[in-house]
Chain A
Amino acid sequence: MEQFFNDNMYVIDLGEVNSAPEIIFMLSSALDNEESRNKRICLKLGNVNLNQAQLLSIKSLINGIDSTLSSIETKSTETEKVALSLGIIVSNISQENATESAPAMPYKLAEELKEENQEKKEEEIQEEPTEEKIEDNNYDIVEEIQEEIVEQKEVEQTENTVQEENAENKIEETISEEKTETEPIHDELDVIFSSSPAQKTFYEMESTHHEQNEETNELNDIIVPENEYTKEDIEIETFPTKYIKQTIRSGQVINYEGNVVIIGDCHPGCEITAFGDITVWGVLSGIAHSGAGGNQKARVRALKMNAIQLRIANCYSRRPDSLNTIYTEKTNSFTPEEARIVNGEIVVFKIND
């Protein structure tokens, strides 16, 4: 049995195993591994024919450790049929293919999230009557629904529909239920803002943002279940910070074992590698790798995110091919963006004012 990371997925290879009970036994021992928690899992199966009940139990086994069964790979056509009927993706990701083609998923953008959320919202409206019952019974499902509501709220703050008001009420209830410590992002922004010489002008802005930020921070906590104030956050905060005030041009490399703050643009072809966060006060168009020492909580933020590739810790993503703007126009109206890891994927969030 082999276990390894591939394309932001955690692959468990059970190709050698020949019977269904053995698969479940091997899988459960594989899932004991800490590494497999909170991941998108890809299962490699051999010739074994699995029926619907067996596949379902495998799926629930994986869901039990906060992971999701992303796709399976199988040689048996019967298993493939059953998997398709259950809505599980059947793929052919062999190790060789994946190593040949370069980085995996294009990073998700806020707009895409919005679309996804709209779809989810529609589904949710249909499910609404049953929601209350579930809330009493199953905590996990409630959490999922909360995620959806929260994401919606983040993106569609301006829209005021009746449904959303309902949703908002629910969020408030749930927030009071599970109070977690505030997100590090705000603290970090504090640090950045307070270290700025024009403190007073920023202070006003900060105070107006304060309430909203606090709210979204708490919401973020719900999006990423593991998003608590951890050692990793403290590590980032205690890192030394390098301050660079120049345009980073093609071919220039910045390597630092700490946080990096760049006042200026980062042109395509440059590479920035940092053990902590990367903050660009300008357009980021090169390659940025934050958390290069393995810190999963590291972030990349920029006034305009146009990075060719984003890498955070051991995840990496490339710019979507649809975004074919190599050089961005310089305007005065930027929406700052921030990339972080959400469920093993790099997602770019817009920081709305």
Chain B
Amino acid sequence: MAGRVIVITSGKGGVGKTTTSANIGSALAKNGHSVVLIDTDIGLRNLDLLLGLENRIVYTLVDVVEERCKLKQALVKDKKNPNLCLLAAAQTRDKSSVSAEQLKKITDKLKKDYDYILVDCPAGIEQGFQTAIAGASEAIVVTTPEMSAVRDADRIIGLLEAAEGIESYKLLINRVRPNMIKSNDMMSVEDVENILSCQKIGIIPEDTGIITSTNRGEPIINNEKSLAGKAYINVARRINGEEVPFLDIDQPKDLVGKLKKFLSNLKKQGKEQ
């Protein structure tokens, strides 16, 4: 079995790389694939918190690299889903502890036993980034509809194109607010796509539930009511090669908005006929 190694990166910090990694990983595992999440943000690890596995970590990526333990010993199984494993980063070290070649060795080993290896990349374009993309053949670039995040994503895409080994990259647009797009306060999804000239793999709406899910240590895909959770599940299905239509993220919450939307949909249908 040859697994796929996908790096999740963004350039700018705080756009949702770690949240995306945790949720896509959980969604893929929920669909029956075996998944390993690797946190390469050494010294500022967070992926374990999002999955609620903080208290289970004994060995880390650095321990594996420095051969204090076997690779299998360092993999922490998820509480709910046995298909999902986490290889956590060390909190007490820094990015120079792991080199690109060392991480490539680890991902090559994991490829044999698992369907998907998702690498959560640290922010920035320095050594940590170079290490994270070393073993990957695919990339997901996370960005938000803000000028700064888009500019950084552009830079990252340039670096990914130049890097050896990355065969394809897709865009994931996070924290989209339909209301602000309507009032022209935010770049639309199409704008971002045009600027970056890159194919998109998902649109995730802004969701306050993300904050609660982070604090509780439960991925939001387990919350069936959450729109962001559904969007992440769709992204996971698209990664797996399924054709899933993009979610309509413009879902008004109040009754008047719902009625308006219903009427406009009727109009559209009428025109089509």
Given A251-B92, A308-B54, A321-B79, decide whether A99 and B72 contact each other with a Cβ distance below 8 A: yes
- Using Cβ atoms and an 8 Å threshold, which residues of chain B touch A15? none
Interface pair A269/B91, CB less than 8 Å apart: yes
Given A308-B54, A321-B52, A324-B217, decide whether A250 and B75 contact each other with a Cβ distance below 8 A: no
Interface pair A309/B55, CB less than 8 Å apart: yes
Interface pair A102/B76, CB less than 8 Å apart: yes
| Interface members, chain A 301-333 (any B CB < 8 Å) | 308-309, 316, 318-319, 321, 324, 326
Given A250-B91, A324-B216, decide whether A99 and B73 contact each other with a Cβ distance below 8 A: yes
- Using Cβ atoms and an 8 Å threshold, which residues of chain A touch B49? 326
Interface pair A101/B77, CB less than 8 Å apart: yes
- Using Cβ atoms and an 8 Å threshold, which residues of chain B touch A268? 54
- Using Cβ atoms and an 8 Å threshold, which residues of chain B touch A271? 91-92
Interface pair A319/B91, CB less than 8 Å apart: no
A101 to nearest B CB, angstroms? 5
Q: Which residue of A lies closest to B56 (CB)?
A: A102
Interface pair B72/A100, CB less than 8 Å apart: yes
Interface pair A253/B58, CB less than 8 Å apart: no
- Using Cβ atoms and an 8 Å threshold, which residues of chain A touch B59? 102
The answer to whether the Cβ of A238 comes within 8 Å of any Cβ in the partner chain is no
| Interface members, chain A 87-108 (any B CB < 8 Å) | 96, 99-103, 106
Of the residues A99, A252, A318, contact of B55 by C-beta under 8 Å: A318
Q: Which residue of B lies closest to A269 (CB)?
A: B91
- Using Cβ atoms and an 8 Å threshold, which residues of chain B touch A100? 72-73, 75, 77
| Interface members, chain B 69-110 (any A CB < 8 Å) | 70, 72-73, 75-77, 79, 91-92
Interface pair A318/B92, CB less than 8 Å apart: no
Interface pair B92/A102, CB less than 8 Å apart: no
Given A100-B75, A324-B216, decide whether A251 and B43 contact each other with a Cβ distance below 8 A: yes
Q: Which residue of B lies closest to A99 (CB)?
A: B73
Interface pair A101/B76, CB less than 8 Å apart: yes
Q: Which of B54, B55, B57, B73 has the most CB of A within 10 A?
A: B55
Interface pair B58/A316, CB less than 8 Å apart: yes
Interface pair A321/B55, CB less than 8 Å apart: yes
Of the residues B58, B91, B216, B217, contact of A251 by C-beta under 8 Å: B91
Interface pair B56/A318, CB less than 8 Å apart: yes
Give Cα A96–Cα B70 distance, bound, in whole angstroms.
12
- Using Cβ atoms and an 8 Å threshold, which residues of chain B touch A103? 55-56, 58
Q: Which of B43, B52, B57, B59 has the most CB of A within 10 A?
A: B57
Interface pair A102/B54, CB less than 8 Å apart: no
B179 to nearest A CB, angstroms? 32
Give Cα A252–Cα B93 distance, bound, in whole angstroms.
9
Give Cα A100–Cα B34 distance, bound, in whole angstroms.
14
Give Cα A268–Cα B92 distance, bound, in whole angstroms.
11
B45 to nearest A CB, angstroms? 8
Give Cα A67–Cα B75 distance, bound, in whole angstroms.
32
- Using Cβ atoms and an 8 Å threshold, which residues of chain A touch B53? 102
| A-B contacts besides A96-B72, A309-B58, A321-B55, 8 pairs, CB < 8 Å | A102-B57, A102-B59, A103-B58, A252-B92, A309-B55, A316-B58, A321-B79, A324-B216
